[in-house]
Structure 1
Amino acid sequence: MYYEKKQCLYCGQVIQGRADKKFCDDQCRNNYNNQLKAVKNNEIRNINNALKKNRSILEELLRNSEGTFKVNREKLLEEGFQFKYHTHHYVNKKGNVYVYCYDYGYLELDQSSDWFLVVRKKSG
């Protein structure tokens, strides 16, 4: 009887052992699966990084202020803020829409003036 020699799916080396074995060792199996997951999770990772950066920018603006801070769109864009990435919205009783990146957010003060009020969500 002739058996076809199987090759490792990751490195291509000839596999010794069980007939259903796909990888030559655990390292090749892990590398293969990590490579598959990296391609699938790349977009998610990029979005999460953008959300974290947005939060960090808002946090830095509020660091030395008394709870709120007024900033214009140009300054946020200079810092690398990406308006399309946010975690949620909050509408207050007056109908104002706050856009949040986790616990830091902003309120567009006037659509024609490009000014924003940066806030931090109250805990509790």
Structure 2
Amino acid sequence: MNTCKICNKRLVGRKDKIFCSVKCKNYYHVNLRKATALVVKELDNILHRNRSILLEIMGKNKTQCTIERVVLEKKKFRFKYHTHHHINSKGKTYYYVYDFAWMAFSDDRVLVVRKPLAQVT
């Protein structure tokens, strides 16, 4: 005998039924979206902060620069958070935050590059 995932009432009907009513089903999904939204907002804030730090370092006109890792650390850059990564033909990994990428060198220096955004047509 199956019971409702929210209120534990006995379920009547289909074998794969999870909720006893539309009210319980809506309650479940609304709260699931709320929990997801909180985590996504926190991660999005970290990613935007990382991008802002890279933009501040690069300025508006540079397309790449090399800096000391400690400079990024002092600005509270969080290396663990990125949107995606790319491994180039030489096996070096670039980590991206939207349109900026960085690659760490073994001598505690970091190459920062800006990828041009695609033109919207």
1:68 to 2:98 alignment: no
Residue 18 of structure 2 corresponds to none
Change (3 A) 1:45 1:123: closer
Q: Distance in 2 between matches of 1:71 and 1:115?
A: 6
Change (3 A) 1:43 1:108: same
Match of 1:99, SS state, is strand
TM-score, normalised on structure 1? 0.62
Q: Distance in 1 between matches of 2:105 and 2:63?
A: 16
1:45 to 2:16 alignment: no
Match of 2:105, SS state, is strand
Q: What is the aligned-residue RMSD (CA, Å)?
A: 2.3
Instruction: Output the amino acid matched with 1:102.
Output: Y
1:119 to 2:113 alignment: yes
Residue 14 of structure 2 corresponds to none
Q: Distance in 1 between matches of 2:79 and 2:47?
A: 10
Alignment of 1:1-124 (within 5 A): 36=31, 37-63=33-59, 66-110=62-106, 113-124=107-118
Instruction: Output the amino acid matched with 1:122.
Output: P
Greater Cα radius of gyration, structure 1 or 2:
1
Q: Distance in 1 between matches of 2:98 and 2:60?
A: 19
Instruction: Output the amino acid matched with 2:109.
Output: W
TM-aligned CA deviation for residue 120 of structure 1: 0.6
Q: Distance in 2 between matches of 1:52 and 1:123?
A: 16
Change (3 A) 1:68 1:46: same
Q: Distance in 2 between matches of 1:104 and 1:71?
A: 14
TM-aligned CA deviation for residue 91 of structure 1: 1.6
TM-aligned CA deviation for residue 40 of structure 1: 3.7
Gapped runs of 5+ residues in structure 2? 1-22, 24-29
